[in-house]
Every structure is written in structure tokens, then in C-alpha cells.
Amino acid sequence: MNIESISKNLSWLPKPVIRFFEKRMKNIPAVQKMVEKENEKLKATLEHSLKPYRGKYDSYGKLPQLGVDRDKILADIQKMHDQEIGTWENGFVSGGIYNGDREHIDFLNKVYALNSQSNPLHSDIFPSATKFEAEIVSMVANMMGQGRTPDGAQIVGCVSSGGTESILLAMKTYRDRAREEKGITAPEMILCDTAHTAFDKASHYFGIKQIRIPMTAEYKVDVDAVKRAINRNTIVIVGSAPTFPHGIIDDIEALSNLALQHGIGFHTDACLGGFIVPFAEKLGYKVPVIDFRLPGVTSMSADTHKYGYAAKGTSVVLYRSEALRHYQYYTTTEWPGGLYFSPTIAGSRPGALSAACWAAMLSIGEDGYLKATKAILDTADYIRKGIQSIPELEIMGDPLWIFAVKSKVDTLNIYEVLDHMSTRKWSLNGLHKPACFHIALTLRHTQPGVADRFINDLKDSVEYVKANPGNTDGLAPVYGLAATLPFRGMVSDILKKYLDVVYEV
């Protein structure tokens, strides 16, 4: 981004607005220099963290003239695996690895190996894939309303590649239904600022305008503001169960009632909580109803590869009726290559992932999910009390197992605390608006000693930052810069630098 790209084509604006921009843009050269300086520092930091194998292994920027020996390939992969497993196996990562048990992983790997050639696109060749996916959907549907709605309709769905695709599919479905049934050509979705960024991606991909609603003091979507935002172009309202940033469950019942009253769709995003909230309810925890028992809920997303403990790459999107699901499908009848149809965005898909997901759910069973949920929530209670014992810190809202932590005092930079935690091997999620970080608790954190280690390291990190403010070479300056830059395109440029480094050989 440069001054020219910002200032061009402003002539159509009112003169007072142009003068406002010109005044602000006087500071752009200084800001640009600051951004360029931080970009160089960021690139050096990222190259160190994202490319640790440079110089340690052979690098392949093009196909080797002769094929590399398979034993060497396996040996190199094993070495990298052995180095990386230490970053998550001991429970120092927020989310990311939700089970991690060696026996469970070995079991899923065996299932994957047996199905490595499977492709659900070719259901005639791999009918096992259709069995696996149909039963995955049915099992999740039974978790989300006993498999049927209160009026007896069957809950249906599809298996996707992850939470983002589940959300994309649902939003595409509502767009197409609104266009077909209501003639809406300028569709809008209503969602809170805390809704997952996959909805923003859906907006970008499918041309759905976002109507953003602020969060309340309890970090939930403002229901009254949602009510005021509904108009004739609204195609769907979104609620989170829970939100990714703060782990808070929106008022799903109130939101879905609004959708029902206005005859529009409502999507519960339970990608993160779909395999926790139902079992927490059965365990007696005070959690709200988030599923199809509410008449206004018309779709849901739940990630099997998170707390469902499947291998990475599967999620489920559910619908209240087959008629609604039909708007998700893609079919074509005129292609010279024959009749073509696909339930999700991808054509060919790895059937091995669906097989591994099916196997994971069967092997764990309801009893296993109940035990896992109880272990996570017991650990969460313990960690909650530990964080609350640190006077400089505050947990945001009243979450169940995902804790967003901010500073109570202006003199403590929470990002510097985050950086210092990383020196103690913790990989936590930095958040902003407001400045905070979070930890999403998993089965890895229920291991003996992990919770105590987290609390002690957090206490020590707070004390270190208090005694050494500004003494950090981590991402704290980057987060600070991102929070204060007036032009968000500059922040986007910083993120693109990250992706550039990812693809450097």
C-alpha cells in the first residue's frame, strides 16, 4: 500500500471528507517507514520460526533428476516429526492438537492407510466412503437434536474439509435459497464482530454483505442490535457456540427466535463447541440449548477434527431439511464429460479422512466423549481459579473452557506477557480488539502437572514483564503496531508477508 493507492479516485467525495483524508495522509510516509521497518523485523522473525530446517535438510526447488531413495525420504520425515512432536505433545499448545494420545493416533493412522486411495467422488468404486460419511452425519445430527427436529423432520448434512468449509457451504446455501425463493440479489448476513472470520471469507467469496453487530459487555452479540439490523435483504443470522476469541456462547435461543419470526435462516456455529456443549449438558453443566431443538435453528456446523478427535480435515454441516441442503449441492447436466454432481466445494476428496473420522467416533463412543469433556472442564475450573489469583489479569466474560485473558492495568502489556510465555514453550493465541490472548483447553492440558505449569509460568511471566517492560523481540511490537495503524490495508500487507515467507523454499 502507498500514498497513491490510497489517495486516487477520491474526487467523488465531498470536499470536507477529502480534506480530512489529506490531513490524515500527511502522516502516511512516517507510518509507511515504520511498517517497512517492522516488516523487515517480522520477516527475520518468521524465517527463523517458519523455516528452521534450512541448511539442515536437502532443499528441493524443482524435481530431482533421479528419484530420491525412499528410505532417505522416510528418515527425513521421521526426524522432522520427532522434532515437532515436542512442541505439542506435552500440552503447551492452545487448541491445535485436541487429543494427541499415541494409541489413538496410531489407530487413526492404520485406518487412514487402509483407505488412502479412497475418493468419495467415486462412490461406485468406494461405497465404504458413503457409509462412513452418512453415519458421521447421522451421529452428529443425533448429538444436535436426537436426529430429528421437534416436528419430526430428519436432520441432514454433509461432511466437509473443516469448519471454514462448513461455514462457507452454509452461507452459500442461504444465498442461493434467498435468490431462488425470494428474489434477493443483494443478500446480507447479520453477525457479531466476534463471529469466526470464515464468515468474512464467505462474504468475500459469495458476495454477501456483512452487517456487523458489536458485542456486549459480556462479550456476546447484542440481540437488540440484531433485531434493528434485520431488513428485506437479510438471508441469515449467525450465532456462535462458543466464539473463538473469548469462548462465550451467544444467546442462540433469542437470535434463532428472531430469525424464525422474520422467516430467515439461522446458523449456529458450533465448530468449536459441537463436541463439548452437548456432553457438558449431559454432565449437568449449565449450558444453553444451541441446536435443532430450537425451532429457529436451520443449520449448524460442528468440527469433528477438533473435540471430535478425528484426524485433521473433517467437519460436519447440518441442515433442518433436505430442501435446504439441496441449495448446497452443485450439479451440472450439460458437460460433455458426463453428469457431474458434488455435495461440497471440492470434487475429489480424501476418503481416508472420512474413514478415520468414522473410526474415531465409533472407538470413543458417548462414554468416551463424556469422560473427555469432564476432564477438560475440570481442568478448566482449576486454571480459571489460577488465572483469577493473578491480580494483574482478568478473564474476559464467563467462558467454560476457552479463556481470553487481558490486563487489568494499563502498565502491563499483555502481548509482552504472551511473548514471555512463548519463551517457556507455550504456544498461545494472541488476539486484539481488545488486546488479550487466549488458551483453548484440550485433552493435552488434562495431563498431570500441565495446569500447574501453566499457572506458574503465567505468574512468572507477569512478574517478568512488570520488571522488564518493553524487553521483547517477539510479536508484541507487531500486535501493537497492528492495533494502532489507521489504515488497515497496511496491516493486511504485514499478514501477506507472513504468507510469502510460508511459500519460500
Compute the residue count for the chain.
505
Split at pLDDT 50, 70, 90, the class of 110 is very high
Position 138 in a domain: yes
How far from each other are the two terminal CA atoms of the chain, in whole angstroms?
26
Residue at 258: amino acid letter: L
Position 470 in a domain: no
Position 108 in a domain: no
Q: Where are the alpha helices (DSSP H) in 321-449?
A: 322-325, 351-388, 414-423
Rounded mean pLDDT, 360-374? 98
**What is the number of structural domains in the chain?**
1
Kind and range of the H or E run holding 394: strand 393-395
**Per-state percent for the chain, helix, strand, coil, to nearest 5:** 45, 15, 40
Q: What are phi and psi of 237, to 5 degrees?
A: -110, 145
Tens digit of each residue's pLDDT (9 = 90 or more) over 272-312: 999 999 999 999 999 999 999 999 999 999 999 999 999 99
Position 185 in a domain: yes
Alpha-carbon distances, residue 217 vs 145, 214, 221, 334, 396 (angstroms): 30, 10, 10, 54, 9
Position 294 in a domain: yes
pLDDT tops 50 at residue 3: no
Position 98 in a domain: no
Q: What are phi and psi of 397, to 5 degrees?
A: 75, -155
User: What average pLDDT does the structure give for the chain?
Assistant: 90
CA distance 268 to 241: 7
CA distance 438 to 461: 15
Tens digit of each residue's pLDDT (9 = 90 or more) over 328-363: 999 999 999 999 999 999 999 999 999 999 999 999
pLDDT tops 90 at residue 6: no
CA distance 43 to 47: 6
Q: Tell me which residue range forms the domain holding 167.
A: 127-361
Q: What is the pTM of this model?
A: 0.88
Position 149 in a domain: yes
Position 55 in a domain: no
What CATH number did the domain enclosing 253 receive?
3.40.640.10
